[in-house]
Structures are given as C-alpha cells and as structure tokens.
Amino acid sequence: MKPVARIDAVLRQGVEAGDMPGVVALAATHAGPLYAGAVGLAPDTVFRIASMTKIVTCVAAMQLVERGKLELEGPMPAIDPALASPQVLEGFDAAGSPRLRPARRPITLRHLLTHTAGFCYET
C-alpha cells in the first residue's frame, strides 16, 4: 500500500471508529504539500482549532529557529520587552501578600515552548 493510501486508511479508520467526527490533514515542506486529505470533512472546511494555538505557535517558532531567525536559548526580552524582568514567587508574608524576587536567569524561547518559564494559569 502506498504511503498516501496508508495515511488515508488511518484517517478513515479513526473517523469510522468514532474517535473523531472528521479530520483534515496536511503535511508539507518548503517545496509544497506532500500529503493533503480529508475524511468526514471537505479539505476546505472552516472549523475552530480550539486549544491548538499553542501547537501552531510552537511550530511557527521552531520554523524560525530552523531558519536562524530565533534562538532556543536566546533571552526573550529581545522579542518581548515585557519579559525583561521576570519575578519569581518565593512565598507569602503574614498578611498574605506575595513575596517576589528577581529571576536568576532570563526567560528563553525554550522555557516558553516547554512551559517551564514559570507562568501559571488562573483556574
């Protein structure tokens, strides 16, 4: 079975098993698409990619790293000055106010991509 047919079969199997209602897939290089296929949807179907912004951003960032336009270990203040002086939570004082100290090293792209920059989310 040719690689394209195998990819089509895997996508079809996932939809038929009920793992997903439909799927659109694309694989490409700088030279253009290597594979484009869809099962249960048209290739040009517009749909939300909720919770996918992180992966899309990571792929774009890694493409820039690959092209030499970004560095994984480069400090992020060069890109976003708001990240120039990160503060680290050390604890809370008796009144419940946070005790902060300056970070020991700058935040890098690697930290941001691997979620190790120390940021947290409100729940």
Task: Respond yes or no: is residue 51 known to be catalytic.
Answer: yes
Partnered with residue 28 across adjacent β-strands are: 33
Residue type, 46: V
Contact call for residues 62 and 48 (beta carbons, < 8 A): no
Query: Residue 72 and residue 113: Cα distance in Å, rounded?
Result: 9
Contact call for residues 79 and 65 (beta carbons, < 8 A): no
| Residues 17-23: contacts with CB under 8 Å, at least 24 apart | none
Q: Which candidate, 116, 120, 119, places its Cα nearest to that of 108?
A: 116
Instruction: Out of 51, 53, 97, 123, pick the active-site residue.
Output: 51
Residue positions annotated with a catalytic role: 51
